[in-house]
Structure 1
Amino acid sequence: MLSNLSIKNYALIDALEVSFHTGFTVITGETGAGKSILLGGLALVLGKRADLGSLRDKERKCIVEAAFKITKYRLRPFFEQNDLDYEDETILRREIHPSGKSRAFINDSPVTLSILSALGERLIDVHSQHQTLRLTENEFQLKVIDALADNKQNLQAYGTELKAFRDTEKRLQQLIATQKEANKEKDYDSFLLQELETAALSEGMQEALESEQQKLSNVETILEYFANGYQLLSDDQLGIMSAVTQLTQLSGKLADFGEKYENLHQRIQSVHIEMEDIASEWESLKDTTEADPERLEQLNGQLQLLYDLLRKHDVQNVNDLLSVQEALSQKVGDTANLEVEIAEKEALLAAQKETLEAKASIISQKRTRAIPILDKELSEVLSSLGMPSATFKMELTPAANFKETGKDDLAFLFSANKGVGYGELKKVASGGELSRIMLTIKAVLARYEQLPTMMFDEIDTGVSGEISNKMGDIMKAMSNHMQVFSITHLPQVASKGDAHFKVFKEEIGETTHTKLKQLQQEERVSELAEMLGGKVLTDSAMAHARQLLD
């Protein structure tokens, strides 16, 4: 409930602070006295967009604070989700600076305007002409039926399942889109992969092929070099091997004359052995080197394919080509895996849909049972509000798709008079009728769920006499379950209040101020008498006012 409201430097309000209590509070005042200013200040602290023009003194900031006792609203999860300190008496504060900057606080913690607004909606419901139009929206109509049907937990379970269903549906659509795109490239990717696999790529392959190709391309020159070298090595007269053999023999004879000669002889022997090995390998290479035109042609083909692949994929070496091949293999494999994942998601979606259907069916069944109860209660109350022939026609039909509210389409039709066909509320009900219907619905809701503080802004406009008296009774009855405010021009409604505040203007010097005052018993009598008969307080008006209060 709203326990305290403080407004500073807003419109015609310089400074205002007022405390409120439980029950039914009425607010009265002449037209133009500033009731809308009071509501405007309250709207700011509930998250409405700020307007610099609302600052009374353009050099000072505007501050609006509202304290709420929130123990019974079960709002701890909201505070935890938004990382806020929970207090049984929570203070919402809004500051509008002359620079245009706006700041919002909950229990002195800075918050965004959206968080302030979200909490404000849970704490106070300001009923205005705009809010009355919500009555014509299917979502609000279903909310009313669900309150009577006790569908809160069923809707929560349904909502959790719906989110999972939509997540799966979204993922399935993404997979199908990916598969569609992948299928466009699949054939070409498979061709590229096969081309690379046919090339039988391996690390170091290019260097090996180029080396062998270079040898076979120059085989005649190589054989000529081998022949010349072989002659140098093996010629009987001038060959290297003949000379080294003779040198070895001479050094062997010198070895007998000392250690130094022996060492030299051993070194020459080592050279002799090495030269014999070189000569043997030289001869072997010479004998195994031969022209091979077929192999050369094969090598040229392999290298040409390799060079073509390097250019085609715009890479520098075989290792890069191997990376391309791995990526293509993964891509082609992923395309095949998509089919498996799509099948899995389709099966999951079908199971989730079956669960959703079952949960939606429970919600629909409970709604169907609640509709006659709501119809009866609304008709009875509206009859007492001067609409004795008002009837409703509420019908549920299965919706084509799952909605946030279940799987129902609701026809919420209304007829104000006998013999007149049913039609949509927004088309057949007048503004006054809509206001009375909304008051009736809020009264019904108050008995079935915990509603926030309710503030009715001239909901009784256009009615008088016994009907206004009954509207006051309804709001008074609602206040047994919740805190209710009514801004009213009707003395019959104002007399029902547990507390009565008056909004008025006061001129101080050259400036006008909007004030709010709680009226005591005799002051209430005078205010009601003025509402009944005008500024001149007659004895009959005063007597009528006392009668209303009694």
Structure 2
Amino acid sequence: MLTQLYVKDFAIVENLDIEFNSGMTTITGETGAGKSISIDALGLCLGDRADANMVRHGADKTEVSARFSITKIPNAINWLVDNELADGLPSDCIIRRIINSEGRSKAYINGTPVPLQQLKLLANHLVNIHGQHAHQLLLKNDNQLALLDEFASHSDLITNTFNAYQYWSMQRAELAKLKKAEQQRQDRLQLVEYQVAELDEFAIAEGEFEQLEAEHKILSNAVGLVNESQLALTMLFDSDEHSACSLVQSLANKLSNLSNMDDSLVPIQTLLSEASINLQEASSELRHYVDGLEPDPERLMQLDTRISQAMDLARKHKTTPENLHQEHSALTIELKDIQSSNELSVTLENEVNVAEARYWEHATLLHQARFQAAEHLSQAITESMQALNMAQAQFKIEITQSGSPTKNGSDNIDFLVSANVGQALQTIGKVASGGELSRISLAIQVITAERVSTPTLIFDEVDVGISGATAAIVGKMLRKIGENTQVICVTHLPQVAACGHNQMQVHKNMDEHQTHTSMHSLDSHERIEELARLLGGDKITETAMANARELLIA
């Protein structure tokens, strides 16, 4: 619960240091004294939007800090530990916010600087503020739905529906992106299919073009190669008298005879013998080459055609004939990728359908839970309205499931009211007067407050538009909540103020230069005087004092 609030140079507050107790605490004061300033300051401390106008005139900065006892708030303790903002199991938590005169702010949790969003997350575990304009929010369907969900306490269903919607939206966006590029893929697919089919038909192998060129070169020069090779063969072996083989062999024989007389000639004779053998082998290979080399005009024509086709395809694909095989491979891979993309589109469509079905499954479960909660809340609000001097009032929450999915489900909600006997249920904005709207709002806030897990509930002049016996009922309702939860209520009604376990008064003083606001806790005698002032105005009479005593005792 909130145990201390320190405010320095905020709006018209110069310095304020107040302590809060458990139970119901009421805050009263003259109109315009600044009763809601402490609530505004606390809201700022808990993460509300900062503004340079919040800084007191003439000051450099505004500082607000709040101390909370969290020994009975396990969610807050766990949050602090998980975010490494506490040592061990803390019993207290201090939140601090500073705003300079330029509007820039800094936030701290237990002395550690934190982002504003982190501050807001912690605040959700500590305080729930019901503002003085809450009745106006009742007219908005989004807020009506939020009130119902808060009462129903089915956060898991809301989270599941939200996550399912987000995933479905993501899959739809991915599919739309894929569809958008589909026409380009189809155009490219047709071209690549034609190119691959053409290259498949031509079916050039790796290194084939180089081989074609080499073979073409030989066949185109076949006559010359045969003639010159035949001449070489004659010189090498076939000439009877002067062939190279016969000359070398003759020399080898002579040196063989001479080596019998001089052994030093043996190595030379050996070399000539080996040379003779090599010349004979060369002659044999050359003869084989000549025998196999024949002009083949038909094959040459085939080669011309194949090379010409390769060069034409290479020009078409803007590559070289030597790289045509690699181009073929690359296009084949691209074709498979495009075809896979089409398969992916089909797969993604299936995933979108599955995600949609999953979303509607969660949305339907959420709708059913809301429908059940709406019946209970409608009955509770009807009873609370009747207790607030609207004896014949009826309240109904109408829930219908539409076909329009949103992140919050697919439900349409409407608050229907009948304020008088014989009056049909109609939309709340059409039939409820300002006073009735305030009472309905208060009835809803009191009921929902009983279901909220936060340990501190703040009501900022939510009793506007009610008075008399109704105000007394409101005060008793809030006091009942305060028996188990800390309640802080800013009010102008003595009947509500008298129901508090504790009471604080706000004063506004003015000097020649500035306005000053202060707040202090009232003892029993001071409470009676303040209640008398609320009952009778600035002039406090004995009658007003007596009435105040009766209120306080009651």
Question: Shared fold (TM-score greater than 0.5)?
Answer: yes
Identity over aligned pairs, percent: 33
DSSP 3-state at the match of 1:290: coil
Q: Counterpart of 2:336? A: 330
The separation in 2 between residues aligned to 1:502 and 1:40, in whole angstroms, is 16
How far apart are the structure 2 equivalents of 1:391 and 1:43?
34
Aligned to 1:443: 446
- Tell me the residue number matched to 2:460: 457
How much does 1:212 deviate?
A: 2.3
**1:215-262 deviation per Cα after TM superposition (whole angstroms, max 9, x unaligned):** 333334434443443344244444433333333333333333444321
Residue type of the alignment partner of 1:331: D
Change in CA separation of 1:473 and 1:320 when aligned onto 2, cut-off 3 Å = same
Number of positions where the alignment pairs a residue of Structure 1 with one of Structure 2: 547
Report 1:49-198 matches (<5 A): 49-56=49-56, 60-70=60-70, 71-72=72-73, 74-75=75-76, 78-79=79-80, 84-85=85-86, 87-98=90-101, 100-146=103-149, 151-152=154-155, 154-155=157-158, 182-198=185-201
Amino acid at match of 2:99: I
**1:473-496 alpha-carbon deviations (Å, 9 max, x no partner):** 222222234222221222222222
The TM-score with structure 2 as length reference comes to 0.85
Deviations 1:254-293 (A, max 9, x none): 3334443211222222222222222222232233223333
Tell whether the 8 Å contact from 2:196 to 2:328 is kept in structure 1 after alignment. Answer: no
Structure 2: distance between partners of 1:59 and 1:302? 92
Write the deviation string for residues 325-354 of structure 1: whole angstroms up to 9, x where unpaired.
Answer: 35224314414643763576377458636x
2:531 aligned residue (487, 505, 528): 528
C-alpha contact (below 8 Å) 1:186/1:335 kept by paired residues: no
Task: Tell me the equivalent position of 2:379.
Answer: 376
Look up the match of 1:279.
283
Q: What RMSD over aligned residues (CA atoms) do the two structures have, in Å?
A: 3.5
Query: 1:442/1:54 Cα in 2 relative to 1: closer, same or farther (>3 Å)?
Result: closer
Conserved? CA contact 1:147–1:445, under 8 Å: yes
Alignment partner, residue 266 of structure 1: 270
Confirm whether residue 255 of structure 1 aligns to residue 255 of structure 2.
no
- Among candidates 243, 248, 266, match of residue 244 of structure 1: 248
C-alpha displacement of 1:441: 1.0
Matched position secondary structure for 2:508 = strand
Which structure 1 segments of 5+ residues have no match?
none
Residue matched to 2:403: 400
Letter in 2 for 1:515: S
After superposition, what is the alpha-carbon deviation per residue over 1:288-318, rounded to whole angstroms, capped at 9, x for unaligned? 2233333333334433444444444445624
2:480 match: 477
Secondary structure, in 3 states, of the residue corresponding to 1:74?
helix
Q: Aligned to 1:426, which of 400, 424, 429?
A: 429
Find the aligned partners of 1:99 and 1:253 in 2 and give their Cα distance.
Answer: 121
Which residue identity lines up with residue 194 of structure 2 in the other structure?
Answer: F
* Structure 1 residues 236 and 146: alpha-carbon distance in aligned structure 2, compared to 1, 3 A threshold: same
Alpha-carbon distance in structure 2 between the residues aligned to 1:474 and 1:318: 88
| 409, 414, 417: which one aligns with 1:411 | 414
**Structure 1 residues 394 and 505: alpha-carbon distance in aligned structure 2, compared to 1, 3 A threshold:** closer
Worse-matched range after superposition: 51-60 or 535-544: 51-60
The CA deviation string for residues 476-518 of structure 1, in whole angstroms up to 9 with x for no partner, is 2222342222212222222222221222234578444322211
1:372-405 deviation digits (Å, cap 9, x = unpaired): 4333321222123233343223333232145444
Segment of structure 1 superposing worse, 385-394 or 173-182: 173-182
1:82 CA displacement: 5.3
CA distance in 1, matches of 2:59, 2:202: 81
Q: TM-score, normalised by structure 1?
A: 0.86
Task: Pick closer, same or farther for the CA change 1:56–1:478 going to 2, 3 Å.
Answer: same
Unaligned stretches of 5+ residues in structure 2:
none
Q: Which amino acid aligns with 2:73?
A: K
Say whether the 8 Å CA contact 2:4–2:20 is kept in structure 1.
Answer: yes
